[in-house]
Amino acid sequence: MLSSKTSRQKALLALAWVCFFWGTTWLASKEGVQHMPAIQLCAIRQLLGGSVYLIYFILTKHPWPKGKQWGTILILSVLNFMLSNGLSTWGVQYISSGLGAIIGAIFPLWLVLIALFGGDRLPQKAILGMVLGFGGVCIIFYDHLKDFLNADFTKGIILSVIATISWAFGSLYTKKHAANFNPYFSLGLQMLISSIALFSVSYTTGNTVSVAAIPANAWWAILYLVVIGSVLTFIAYIYSLQRLPTSLASLYAYINPMVAVLLGALIFHEKLNMYIAVGGAVTITGVYLVNDTFRKKTQPPL
C-alpha cells in the first residue's frame, strides 16, 4: 500500500512537471519556426532527442525490441511525432502560440469521444470537468479566438486539430501497448524513425534552410525543445500516463495554455485581464472535478 501511494505521488509530481514545461515549449516552437521551416525544425529536434535516448540504452546494453514490438514503435512514431508533434509545430507557423495552445486543449475531449465510441462509460462528473476545463481555456484566450475568423489561419487550425486527434490516439495506444517493452527506449526509436521521415519530406519538398543559416536563437530554441520537451518532459509524461488514469494524465492540456499566458505576461509583458482570472477559475474547477472523480473511484474501501 505504501509503495503504491509513493508511486502515485511520484506520478503526480511527474504530471506537474509536464503541466508546466510542456506549456513553455509552445513559446520555444514559435521562436524556432520564425527562423526555419517547421518540418525541418521537428526533424532536427527529434534526431537530437532520439540520439540521446539511443546512446544511453546502447551504453547500458539494453535489449533491442523484437518482432511485433517494432510494429508498435512504427505506429507510435507516426502518431506521436510525424503527425502530432510535426503538425502542431507546423501549425504555429500560421497561427499564434496561444491559439495553438487552445487547439491543443481539445485533446482530452477527443479521449472522451474515443472512449464513448468504444463503448466505455465515463462518470458524468469527469465529463463535466473536462468540458469546464476546455471552456476555461477558451475564456483565457478570449482575445485569440477571433483568429478563427481569419482565413489566413485556416491552414494552421486544420494542422493543429489533426495533431490533437493523432495525439489522443497515440496516448491511448501507448497506454495499451507500452507495458510490453521499455517505453523510454521506444521513445528514442520513435524520434529517430520520425526524424528520418521528416527529413525526407523536408528535403523532397525543398522546404529547408542551410544549417549554417540557422541563427543562434533558433538553435537555443531547438536545444530547449530537445532537453526539456523531447527528453525530460516526455519521460515524465510516459511515467504519469502509465500510473494515472488517462483522463487525469491528460489534464496537462488544460494547464499548458495557462502557463503560456503567465509566461507571456512575465516575458513579453502581455496584459492580464478578467478573462484570464475567470478562465483560470473555471479551468481549476474542471481539474478538481476530474481529479476528485478518479480519486474516489480508485480509493480502496475502508
Q: Does the pLDDT at position 63 exceed 60?
A: yes
Q: How confident is the model over 5-39, as pLDDT tens digits?
A: 777 888 899 999 999 998 898 888 888 998 999 99
Residue-wise DSSP of 11-32: HHHHHHHHHHHHHHHHHHHHHH
> pLDDT tens digits for 217-259?
999 999 999 999 888 988 898 888 888 877 677 778 778 888 8
pLDDT of residue 186: 83
What mean pLDDT do residues 191-202 have? 94
Q: CB within 8 A of 215, min separation 6: which ones?
A: 35
pLDDT exceeding 90 applies to what percent of the chain? Answer: 26
User: Per-residue pLDDT for 162 more than 80?
Assistant: yes
Written as one string, the DSSP assignment of 71-116 is HHHHHHIIIIIIIIIHHHHHHTTTS-HHHHHHHHTTHHHHHHHHHH
Tell me the three cell numbers of residue 266: 512575465
| pLDDT band for position 191 (cuts 50, 70, 90) | very high
Residue 152 has pLDDT above 80, yes or no: no
CA dihedral 79, 81, 84, 86 (to 10 degrees): -140
Fill in the DSSP letter of residue 239. H
**pLDDT band, very low/low/confident/very high, at 301 (cuts 50, 70, 90):** very low
Q: What is the pTM of this model?
A: 0.79
pLDDT at 45: 93
For residues 2 and 114, the model is more confident at 114
* Per-residue confidence (pLDDT) for residue 83, from 0 to 100: 94
pLDDT at position 181 is 67
Side-chain half-sphere CA neighbours of 127 within 13 A: 10
Amino acid at 23: G
Cell of 287: 481539474
Which comes out higher in pLDDT, residue 103 or 57? 57
The pLDDT value given to residue 65: 82
Neighbours of 146 (CB within 10 A): 10
What confidence tier does 212 reach under pLDDT thresholds 50, 70, 90?
confident
Q: What is the pLDDT of residues 116-134, one digit of tens each?
A: 676 667 677 777 877 887 8
Mean pLDDT taken over the chain: 82
pLDDT of residue 171: 79
Q: How confident is the model at residue 269 (pLDDT cuts 50, 70, 90)?
A: low
First to last CA, the chain: 13
What secondary structure does DSSP assign to 168-230, as a single string?
Answer: HHHHHHHHHHGGGS-HHHHHHHHHHHHHHHHHHHHHHTT----GGGS-HHHHHHHHHIIIIII
Place of cell 487547439: 103
